[in-house]
C-alpha cells in the first residue's frame, strides 16, 4: 500500500478522496494526503478545513504506527511503514508482519480514515485502524494551548499545557474545549525559560530552522533569542530533500494548536514550552525578592477586592448573567461531519437540523437559513435573551454560533424526535395512546402559557405545529423553534390548514376525529374538549380567542361553559378574498357579478 507526494507541484501529490454518500461514488467532501507545505505530515481535510493530522515524520515510528501496533498486538501482527525518497517524490508504504499482500486506505463518506487488510480466511476486508480513535484527537479539538491526553484513563481527554488554565472554566467543565487555554502568567520577554514536555505530538504550524544540522543546544538558542518564539522541538525528521534522516529544529511563534500527549512509547519528541518565571539555563522556577514582596501585596489586594465585592452585594447590585456558550463553527462542523446528510435529522422552515456530539453530549444543531437579516451582534444578543427561557416544556438552548453568514443554534437532543414523525408513522404511533396524547396537549399548552405570560420575554411562537413539538425519552413534549420570530421577523406566511375538524364539528361528529388506533383508549369527553378549545384558538378575530391561561385551566379542569366557536380564520380569510375579487371584477370594463355559495 503506497501513497505518493511530488515536490515542486501545486497539488501536493496523490490524495485519497471520499465518496459523496453511501451509494454515490462521486467525489465527496473529505480527502487524505500529504501536507503540501512541509511534506512531513498527512492530513484528512473536509474541503479545505483540516479535521485530522498526523505527527511529523520522524526517523522512528509516528503516533499512527504506534496505534496500529497496539491495535494488532493480540493477533501478533505489526504494521511497518517506510519512506522512500528519490529526490522528486516521497512514497509512504505500509506492510504487515504476517505477510498479508493486500492492504488499502479507505476514507469513508463521513470522513473516517481506515486501514484495511484482506483476510484470506474470512474472504473479507478487515479494518485494522479507524481514525480518529478519540474525539479529542480531532484537529484543534482542545483549542489553543490545550492538548489531547491519549494516556488518560479511562478515555483520552483535553487538558491544558503546564502553566496554562482554561480560558473559560464554565465551558471547560461543561465539556466544551474549543476556547482552549490561557497563560496563568504573561511572558516577561526573552529572559523566560523553557519547560520540557516529553512524549508530545508536535503542534501544527511549525517553522523549520537550522538547515537540517541543528543540535538541541543550537535549537534552544535559536528560540530563546527570538522573543516571539513560544516553543521548540528537536526532532529526527525524514525527507527526500535531505537525502535521509536529518535533525531539524521546529519552532512555533503563535498559538499551539492540535497537540497530543502520546506517552513515552509512542511519543518520541519532547516539546519545550516557554513559561514565565523559568530560569533560562535549567528550566526551573526562578525566585526573586520581587516575588517575595509581590505575594503579600497581592494577598492584601485580594482581601480588599473581596470586601468591596461583599459591599456591592450588600447594596443589592444584581450579579452578571452567566456566560452563554458560543461554540466555534469548526467544532460544530466536526460534530456533524461537515453537516453530512447522514447526520441530518430534520428540515424546517428556519433551516436544517443535524445530530452531533459536543463535549460528550448528544445535541441537535439547527443551521439557520440565510433569511435572517440580523448582524452577528444582534443575533447573539437575541439568542442570549432566548436562552434565559427555562421551562420543562421548552427545548433547552445549549449554545450558538455566529460566524460571518453562518448562524447556528445548539439544542438538547430529543431521542423520540418530533410529534409529527411519531403520529404519521404506522408503527411508532402505537406508542401514543390517548392518555399520552392528552398529556402532550396539556404540556404544549403549559409551554405556550410560559412564553406568552410567565417568561421574561413575551414571545409568540408563530409557527407552532406538530413538527415543532419534540418528545423526550418519556414522551413528554418540548416546544422547539420558539423565539425564531424574533430572529427572522414577523414575515412568515400562514400555512394551509385542513377544514376537516371544523366540518366535523359543525356536523356534531367531533368524537370521530381521533385516530382509529386509539379509539379503544380515548375519552370522548376529553376529545371533544380538545377540539372545542382548538377551534376557539383559531378564531378570525384575535379578541375572541382565549388566553393561554384560560386554555390551560380548561384542559386541566374541564369546562361545560365554553362558547361556541365561529368559523376558523381560514374561512374568514376566504370570504375577504372573494369579496376583494368581486370588487375587482365589478370595477373592470366587462362588469359582471360573482356569487359565493357557502354551506351553513
Map residue 79 onto helix, strand or coil: strand
Q: What is the pLDDT of residue 316?
A: 44
Beta strand pairing call for 200-201 and 270-275: unpaired
- What is the DSSP-derived secondary structure letter of residue 451? I
Q: Would you say 400 and 410 are in contact if contact means Cβ atoms under 8 Å apart?
A: yes
Q: Residue for cell digits 483520552?
A: 156
Q: What is the pLDDT of residue 79?
A: 52
Measured CA to CA, the distance from residue 417 to residue 433 in angstroms comes to: 17
Instruction: Of 14, 16, 20, give the one whose Cα is nearest residue 110.
Output: 20
184 marked among binding-site residues:
no
- What is the DSSP-derived secondary structure letter of residue 495? P
Instruction: Of 534, 559, 563, 531, give the one whose Cα is nearest residue 548.
Output: 534
Check whether the bond before 154 is cis (ω within 30° of 0). yes
456, burial (CB in 10 Å: exposed 0-12, middle 13-18, buried 19+): exposed
Q: Would you say 56 and 235 are in contact if contact means Cβ atoms under 8 Å apart?
A: yes
160, burial (CB in 10 Å: exposed 0-12, middle 13-18, buried 19+): buried
Note the helical H segments in 321-432: 329-335, 376-387, 419-423
Q: What is the pLDDT of residue 82?
A: 54
Cell of 157: 481527554
Measured CA to CA, the distance from residue 385 to residue 379 in angstroms comes to: 10
Radius of gyration for the alpha carbons in the chain, expressed in angstroms and rounded: 32
Angle in degrees, CA 143, 147, 152, rounded to 5: 135
Q: At what angle do helices 548-557 and 524-537 cross, to 10 degrees?
A: 170
- What is the DSSP-derived secondary structure letter of residue 321? P
**φ, ψ of residue 574 in degrees (nearest 5):** -65, -40
The active-site residue out of 463, 520, 544, 584 is 463
- Assign 3-state DSSP to the chain and report helix, strand, coil percentages, each to 5: 30, 30, 40
Tell me whether residue 420 is one of the annotated catalytic residues: no
- Provide the residue-wise pLDDT of the chain in tens; the chain has 600 residues: 555 555 444 455 667 899 988 888 899 999 988 887 777 788 999 988 999 998 876 544 333 333 333 333 334 455 555 555 555 566 666 666 556 667 788 899 888 888 888 887 888 888 877 888 788 889 999 999 999 998 887 788 999 999 999 999 988 988 889 899 999 998 887 788 999 998 898 999 888 887 666 788 889 988 988 888 999 998 766 543 444 455 678 899 889 999 999 865 455 678 999 998 775 554 455 444 444 445 555 555 555 555 555 444 434 443 344 456 788 888 898 888 888 888 898 876 678 899 998 877 889 998 887 765 556 666 776 687 777 788 899 988 888 888 877 888 898 899 888 898 888 888 888 888 899 999 999 999 999 888 888 776 677 777 788 888 999 888 999 998 776 655 555 444 444 445 677 778 888 888 888 887 788 888 888 888 988 999 888 888 887 888 888 888 889 887 657 888 887 765 445 444 445 544 543 444 343 333 333 333
Cross-strand partners of 411: 364, 397
Question: Which whole-number Å values give the CA distances from 191 to 184, 273, 442, in the listed order?
Answer: 17, 13, 68
Measured CA to CA, the distance from residue 58 to residue 66 in angstroms comes to: 12
* Threshold 0.95, pTM exceeds: no
Map residue 4 onto helix, strand or coil: strand
Measured CA to CA, the distance from residue 95 to residue 104 in angstroms comes to: 10
Map residue 596 onto helix, strand or coil: coil
Cell of 106: 479507505
Q: What is the pLDDT of residue 168?
A: 92
Q: What is the pLDDT of residue 560?
A: 59
Amino acid at each position: 500500500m503506497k501513497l505518493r507526494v511530488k515536490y515542486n507541484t501545486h497539488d501536493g501529490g496523490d490524495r485519497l478522496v471520499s465518496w459523496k454518500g453511501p451509494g454515490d461514488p462521486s467525489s465527496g467532501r473529505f480527502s487524505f494526503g500529504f501536507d503540501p507545505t512541509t511534506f512531513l505530515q498527512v492530513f484528512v481535510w473536509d474541503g479545505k478545513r483540516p479535521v485530522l493530522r498526523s505527527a511529523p515524520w520522524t526517523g522512528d515510528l509516528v503516533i499512527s504506527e504506534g496505534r496500529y501496533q497496539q491495535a494488532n498486538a493480540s493477533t501478533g501482527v505489526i504494521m511497518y511503514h517506510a519512506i522512500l525518497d528519490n529526490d522528486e517524490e516521497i512514497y509512504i508504504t505500509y506492510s504487515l508482519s504476517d505477510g498479508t499482500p493486500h492492504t488499502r486506505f479507505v476514507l469513508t463518506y463521513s470522513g473516517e480514515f481506515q486501514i484495511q487488510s484482506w483476510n484470506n480466511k474470512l474472504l473479507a476486508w478487515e479494518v485494522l485502524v479507524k481514525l480518529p480513535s478519540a474525539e479529542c484527537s480531532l484537529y484543534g479539538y482542545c483549542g489553543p494551548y490545550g492538548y489531547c491526553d491519549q494516556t488518560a484513563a479511562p478515555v483520552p481527554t483535553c487538558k491544558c499545557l503546564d502553566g496554562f488554565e482554561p480560558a473559560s472554566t464554565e465551558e471547560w467543565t461543561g465539556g466544551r474545549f474549543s476556547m482552549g487555554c490561557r497563560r496563568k502568567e504573561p511572558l516577561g520577554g526573552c529572559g523566560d525559560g523553557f519547560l520540557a514536555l516529553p512524549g508530545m505530538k508536535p503542534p501544527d504550524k511549525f517553522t523549520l530552522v537550522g538547515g537540517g544540522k541543528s543540535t538541541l543546544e543550537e535549537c534552544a538558542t535559536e528560540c530563546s533569542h527570538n522573543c516571539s518564539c513560544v516553543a521548540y522541538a528537536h526532532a529526527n525528521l525524514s525527507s527526500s530533500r535531505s537525502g535521509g534522516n536529518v535533525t531539524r529544529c521546529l519552532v512555533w511563534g503563535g498559538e499551539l494548536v492540535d497537540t497530543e500527549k502520546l506517552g513515552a512509547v509512542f511519543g518520541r519528541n519532547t516539546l519545550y514550552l516557554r513559561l514565565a518565571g523559568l530560569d533560562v539555563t535549567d528550566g526551573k522556577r526562578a525566585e526573586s525578592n520581587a516575588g517575595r514582596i509581590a505575594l503579600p501585596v497581592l494577598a492584601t489586594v485580594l482581601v480588599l477586592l473581596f470586601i468591596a465585592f461583599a459591599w456591592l452585594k450588600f447594596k443589592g447590585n444584581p450579579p452578571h448573567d452567566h456566560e452563554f456558550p458560543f461554540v466555534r463553527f469548526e467544532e460544530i462542523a466536526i460534530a456533524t461531519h461537515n453537516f453530512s446528510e447522514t447526520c441530518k435529522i430534520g428540515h424546517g422552515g428556519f433551516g436544517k437540523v443535524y445530530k452531533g456530539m459536543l463535549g460528550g453530549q448528544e445535541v441537535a444543531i439547527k443551521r439557520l437559513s440565510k433569511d435572517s437579516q440580523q448582524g452577528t451582534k444582534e443575533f447573539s444578543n437575541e439568542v442570549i435573551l432566548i436562552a434565559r427561557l427555562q421551562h420543562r416544556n421548552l427545548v433547552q438552548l445549549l449554545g450558538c454560533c455566529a460566524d460571518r453568514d453562518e448562524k447556528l443554534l445548539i439544542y438538547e437532543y430529543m431521542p423520540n424526535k418530533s410529534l409529527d414523525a411519531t403520529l404519521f408513522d404506522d408503527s411508532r404511533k402505537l406508542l401514543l395512546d390517548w392518555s399520552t396524547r392528552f398529556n402532550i396537549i396539556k404540556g404544549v399548552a403549559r409551554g405556550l402559557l410560559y412564553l406568552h405570560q410567565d417568561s421574561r420575554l413575551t414571545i409568540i411562537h408563530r409557527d407552532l405545529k406538530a413538527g415543532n413539538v419534540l418528545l423526550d425519552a418519556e414522551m413528554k413534549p418540548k416546544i422547539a423553534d420558539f423565539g425564531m420570530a424574533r430572529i427572522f421577523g414577523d414575515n412568515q406566511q400562514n400555512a394551509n390548514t385542513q377544514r376537516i375538524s371544523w366540518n366535523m364539528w359543525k356536523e356534531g361528529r367531533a368524537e370521530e376525529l381521533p385516530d382509529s388506533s386509539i379509539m379503544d383508549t380515548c375519552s370522548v369527553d376529553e376529545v371533544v374538549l380538545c377540539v372545542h378549545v382548538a377551534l376557539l384558538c383559531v378564531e378570525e378575530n384575535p379578541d375572541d380567542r382565549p388566553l393561554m391561561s384560560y386554555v390551560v385551566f380548561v384542559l386541566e379542569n374541564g369546562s361545560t361553559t365554553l362558547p361556541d366557536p365561529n368559523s376558523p380564520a381560514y374561512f374568514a380569510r376566504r370570504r375577504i378574498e372573494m369579496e376583494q375579487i368581486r370588487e375587482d371584477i365589478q370595477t373592470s370594463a366587462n362588469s359582471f357579478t360573482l356569487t359565493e355559495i357557502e354551506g351553513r
